[in-house]
Structure 1
Amino acid sequence: MAMVCQLNQLSSDKLGLIPNPHLNDFNRDPQQLVHDFKHNPESLVGAAYRFECSDGYTRIFVIKRVLYRAEGIIDQASVVVEVECVCTESDCQWHRDWQVIKISFPSRSRPPEDALIREARSKAESTGDLWALNHLPQIIDSITITYDESTVQGRLKADLKEKYEERVMRVTILEKLHPLSELEDPRDFAQVFYDILQIHQWLYECVGILHRDLSSGNIMFRRKDGKIYGVLNDFDLSSRVQNMDKGPTSNHRTGTRPFMSIDLLDPKWKGGHLYRHDIESLFYIMLCLACRYRRPNVPTPEPRAYAVWFSGTDQQVCDNKIAFLTTPFAEAIPIQPHFASFKRWLNRIQDKLYSGYKRRPRNSLAKSSQPGDEDFSDDEDPNFDWVTLNQRASYTTMRSIMSSFDGKSLETRWASWNRNH
C-alpha cells in the first residue's frame, strides 16, 4: 500500500506514462489533459503536442482521431493517432497532409522501428528492388525518449539490474496508410495478403529482418496510380535475423494472441521465432476475416467463429487451434458468402499446417505439450526441417497457393523471385 501511495504522488513524466504533459520537447498542453484516457481514448482528440523535428522546425500537432490503442499496462500500451500539423512556419510542407503519430514503449535494447524501416528502404534502393518501397511504411520523423534515474523505470533498473527490461518512449511520425477495413472487393484483400507474403519474404531473405507480429492491424495498404499495394506495418517487435538469439528477442514470444502460431503459444516450445510462425499468423488473419465478418466492417452474429482466440488464455488458444487443425476439413471453416473465394486458399493452407505439425519428431524439446499431442507427432525423421515444417509452411508453398485467386493470377511484385528460386 505504501508503494501505491508513493506511485500515486509521482508526475506522469516520472512514471514514464502517456499522455505526458512535461517531457523534453514533446509536450502536451496541460490544460487539455484528460486523465480518463484508458477508459476513453477519444479524450486525446483535440490535444496539442509540440515536437522538435530533425529538419529544425518546431511543429505543433493536433490530434484529430485515435486510430488504435493496444491492450497493455495502463498508459504504456502503444497508441496510434491521426494528427494535423498546425505550426506557424509558413514554408512547412506538412500543412498539406495529415500524418500519423505512434507512441510506443519498446525495450531499450530492441532495434528502433524507424532504423529497421530505413534499413529496408535503403536496401531496396541500393539493390534496385524498388517494388519493395510500395510495401513498406514511410517514416517522416522519429524521437526516442529515455528515462533517467529519477523515474520509476530508472529506480527499478537500479534495483533489479539485468532482471529488469528497461523501456523507452518512442514517438514516430509516419505517412498515413489505409486499414484493411476500407477494402470491399475480396480480390483486393487477396492482392494485399499476397503482397504481404512477398514483402515479408523479401525482408527476411534480402534484408535479414523478421517482422514477428503479423496481425490484422499491422496489414495496411496504400493507393498509388489507381492500384492498391499491401503494406507491412509496425516493426516495433521486429528483429534482425542474425541477432534473434540475443537480447530480449531470445526470451520473449511476440505476437498478437488471436493470430499467434501454435508453437509460440506453447510454453514448451524452445525453437525460437521462425519465419513460418509469421506465415501461420497470416493464415489466421485471412481465416478470421473470411469467417468472422459478413462483409468488411460487418461482424457475424454472436457467437462468432474462433471467439476463444480473442478471449482465452495462451493455453486455451493453443488447445483450440490444435483442435481446429485436426478437425475434418470439409466442415471446419465457416466462410461467409462474401469471402467464399478464400475457401481454396484456406483449405489448402490448413491442410499444409496440419500435415506439417503432424510430422514433427516426437522426441524433441519443441514437442507440443497440449492435449491431442499424439495427433501431431508420428514421425521420427532426424532430418526434419523445423523452419518450414518440412516445406509445408514455406514461402514457396505459400506462393504456390496465393499467387492466384478465384481462378485468376494476382500480381507478383517480386518478379525476380521466380528466377532466383
Structure 2
Amino acid sequence: MLSSAGFRTHCIGALVTVGRIQSLYYDRSIIIVCKPIDMFKSHGKQPKITEETLTDEFAAMLVGLGQLTLRQCGIQEEFCYDRALIENHNVYMDRCGNPKDKENFDKTALFVGVKLKLKSGEDEKNVEVTLGRILSRRAGIVGRDTCVVGATSEHDEWKGKELVVKISWPATSLKSEAEFVIKAREKARSMQQGKRPDWALDHLPDILLSQDFDYAADSTQANLIAFFAKAMFAEEEKFEYEKRVCRIMVQERLYSLEELRTVQEYAQVFFDIFQIHKWLYDHPGILHRDISPGNIMWRRTVDGHLRGVLNDFDLSAYRHETGPSLRQRIGTLPYMAYELLANDENGQPPMHLYRHDVESIFYTILLLCCRYEVVAKQGPDGHPILERTRVHSPFDHWYVLNRAGLNAQKCVFLMGRFQSYPEVNSGLTDFQPWVSGLYSRFMAGLIGLNLHTLIPQTDPFDNETLQSWVSYSAIVNICSEFAGSALVVHNDQLEVDS
C-alpha cells in the first residue's frame, strides 16, 4: 500500500476472519497488529447487521475511523497538490489511459501530472515541480523503496533542464545524501593539483534541491514515539521507534547503464567509477557503501564526452568515523562484499572498508558479463545500440540466497575453489582481462589475509587494500586499457596517503 502511494506516511487496514476484526497499522518503520474484537453480538447464527447487533467495540472503531483527518489517514497535504493521487486510483487511470500492459502501467504512470510545492533557496521561495513517469523504483522493504520520477519545472533556474525527483524515506539517524554531494562538489571546486583539478564534478550528481518533511509534533508517528517510550515490554525488552522523514530531492537527470550504446562505453563508465570512488575516499573522505548497477549512472558533458557518475549517497559515511555508522550492514545483497555478509568475532558486521566498495564494483562488472549477452545493432536514429539478453549463469543463485548462503557461496568463489576463472559471455569478451585480473587480485589478497589471521606476523597487514592486492594502482593497471585501447584517466594521483 505504501509503495503504490509514495507520499503516504502510513496506512490503516484490517484483517477480518469469521466475525472478528483486527485493526492493522503500517508505517515506514513499524507494523502494529491490534487485539482482535468481535464485530457482532452472539445470536447463534449470522445476524442481520443493525445497530443493535454490532458490539460496542466495533461500533466505536467505525465511529473513530470515520472521524480521522486526512493527515491521520497518512496523506501529506503540505506539499502534494493532487490528493487524488492517493485517494482515487481511477483518476490516474483516466489520466493515463487504460494500458493493456498492467506491469508497464504500474511502473510508469502513477505520478503523471502530479504537482509538488517545495521551497528553494535561503529565502524559501515556492517552487512547483510537475512529476512525470516513474523511471525507477528500487526493490526493498515495501514502503521504503526509493522512487525516481521524471519531472519538469518552470522555475527560472531549472527551466529547460531534464530533471528527476527522488522520493525516499531515510532514517533521521543517517546523514543527508545532499550533505555528502555538496561537500564533495565543494572539494572538487577547491582542488589545485592534477591535470584538471575539478574533473570530479563531471562524475558527481548535481543536486538542485533537497527538502525533508518531518512528522509534526501531534502526528501519529510522534504519538507512537511517546507511547513506546512509556510502554512496558515482556522480559524487560526495549523498543525504539525508528524515526524517518520523507525526503524530496530534485536533481539533474542521469542515465542508466542499460542506455549505453557500446561495450567501450560500458568500460569507460566502470573505469570512471573506480576513479571517482577513490577520489571521494582520498579527498572529501567519503565511503559510498552501496555500489550496485542502479547507482552507477552516466551523463554527457556539454562537449559530448561520456562521464560515469557515482549516484545515490543515501547510505554513505565519512571514512574517518569510528561510530556504528560504518558497522551497519547495508547494501544490495548480490553486490555486497562477502565479508560484510557475516558477523565478526563480536557478533557485529565488520567495519566497511575501501576495498569492500571496490569488491562491489567488481561484482557489478562480473554479473553483467556473466549473466548477459550483448549484440551491437543499429538504432532507429542511426546510432548504435546494444541489445542485452539474459542467459543462464553460475551466479544466478546469488539473487535468491539469503545473507548466510550468499556469504558461503562468495567465500567458495573468492578463495579459489571456483573451477576456473569466470568466463564472460558473447559480446562482452573484451572484459575478460578485467574479470580475470580483478578476480585474481581479490583471491590472492583474501588468502593472504586468512594466512595472516591464522599465523600472526610481526609486520602489520594492510586490511584496507589486502596488502595492496586491491590498491587503486593495481586497479588502474588492470582497467585503464580495454580492447587494446587506452581509456581516459582522470584521477592521475595513483595513491594518496590515508
TM-score, normalised with respect to structure 2: 0.72
Structure 1 portions without partners, runs of 5+: 365-377
Task: Report the residue type matching 2:320 in the other structure.
Answer: Q
Residue in 2 that maps onto 1:371: none
1:103: Cα distance to partner? 1.1
Residue in 1 that maps onto 2:334: 258
Cα separation, partners in 2 of 1:263 and 1:32, compared to 1, 3 Å: same
Instruction: Measure, in 2, the Cα distance between the counterparts of 1:4 and 1:252.
Output: 33
Cα separation, partners in 2 of 1:235 and 1:420, compared to 1, 3 Å: closer
1:395: Cα distance to partner? 1.7
Residue in 2 that maps onto 1:230: 308
Matched, 1:216 2:282: no
Task: Report the residue type matching 2:338 in the other structure.
Answer: I
What do residues 354-390 of structure 1 show as CA deviations (whole Å, max 9, x unaligned)?
Answer: 11111224696xxxxxxxxxxxxx6533522221111
Residue in 2 that maps onto 1:368: none
SS at match of 2:446: helix
Instruction: Measure, in 2, the Cα distance between the counterparts of 1:164 and 1:140.
Output: 31
Residue in 2 that maps onto 1:110: 174
1:45: Cα distance to partner? 3.4
1:182: Cα distance to partner? 1.0
Query: Which protein, 1 or 2, shows the higher relative CO under an 8 Å CA cutoff with sep ≥ 6?
Result: 1
- Asked if the contact 2:300–2:307 (Cα under 8 Å) also holds between the matched residues in 1, the reply is yes
1:168: Cα distance to partner? 1.5
Instruction: Measure, in 2, the Cα distance between the counterparts of 1:7 and 1:198.
Output: 42
Instruction: Measure, in 1, the Cα distance between the counterparts of 2:421 and 2:204.
Output: 34
Residue in 1 that maps onto 2:403: 314
1:330: Cα distance to partner? 7.1
Cα separation, partners in 2 of 1:281 and 1:420, compared to 1, 3 Å: closer
Q: Which moved more, 1:71-80 or 1:309-318?
A: 71-80
1:35: Cα distance to partner? 7.1
1:11: Cα distance to partner? 7.1
What do residues 392-411 of structure 1 show as CA deviations (whole Å, max 9, x unaligned)?
Answer: 12222212211112222211
SS at match of 1:143: strand
- Asked if the contact 1:210–1:240 (Cα under 8 Å) also holds between the matched residues in 2, the reply is yes
Aligned pairs for 1:63-74 within 5 A: 63-74=131-142
CA RMSD of aligned residues (A): 2.9
Cα separation, partners in 2 of 1:170 and 1:276, compared to 1, 3 Å: same
What do residues 239-274 of structure 1 show as CA deviations (whole Å, max 9, x unaligned)?
Answer: 11222x225x14421111110000111133653100
- Asked if the contact 1:44–1:63 (Cα under 8 Å) also holds between the matched residues in 2, the reply is no
Instruction: Measure, in 2, the Cα distance between the counterparts of 1:4 and 1:71.
Output: 27
- Asked if the contact 1:329–1:347 (Cα under 8 Å) also holds between the matched residues in 2, the reply is no
1:188: Cα distance to partner? 1.3
Matched, 1:406 2:472: no
Instruction: Measure, in 2, the Cα distance between the counterparts of 1:76 and 1:3.
Output: 24
Percentage identity across aligned positions? 32
Residue in 2 that maps onto 1:344: 433
1:80: Cα distance to partner? 0.8
1:207: Cα distance to partner? 0.5
Select the structure that is richer in helix: 1
Larger Rg: 2
1:349: Cα distance to partner? 0.7
SS at match of 1:75: coil
Among residues 272, 276, 283, which one is paired with 2:362 in the alignment? 283
Matched, 1:120 2:184: yes
Q: Which moved more, 1:277-286 or 1:355-364?
A: 355-364
Structure 2 portions without partners, runs of 5+: 1-14, 16-20, 28-64, 93-102, 230-238, 375-385
TM-score, normalised with respect to structure 1: 0.85
- Asked if the contact 1:21–1:28 (Cα under 8 Å) also holds between the matched residues in 2, the reply is no
Matched, 1:97 2:161: yes
SS at match of 1:27: coil
Task: Report the residue type matching 1:32 in the other structure.
Answer: L
Residue in 1 that maps onto 2:211: 143
1:160: Cα distance to partner? 4.6
Task: Report the residue type matching 2:316 in the other structure.
Answer: S
1:325: Cα distance to partner? 2.2
Instruction: Measure, in 2, the Cα distance between the counterparts of 1:211 and 1:110.
Output: 13
Aligned pairs for 1:21-420 within 5 A: 21-22=76-77, 24=78, 26-33=79-86, 40-55=106-121, 56-85=124-153, 87=154, 92-128=156-192, 129-160=197-228, 163-224=240-301, 225-243=303-321, 245-247=322-324, 249-268=325-344, 270-295=349-374, 296=386, 298-301=388-391, 303-327=392-416, 331-361=420-450, 379-381=455-457, 383-415=460-492, 417-418=493-494
Instruction: Measure, in 2, the Cα distance between the counterparts of 1:15 and 1:275.
Output: 44
Q: Which moved more, 1:205-214 or 1:67-76?
A: 67-76
1:43: Cα distance to partner? 4.1
- Asked if the contact 1:214–1:278 (Cα under 8 Å) also holds between the matched residues in 2, the reply is yes
Alignment length, in residue pairs? 395
Task: Report the residue type matching 2:189 in the other structure.
Answer: E
1:109: Cα distance to partner? 2.3
- Asked if the contact 1:21–1:33 (Cα under 8 Å) also holds between the matched residues in 2, the reply is no
SS at match of 1:68: strand
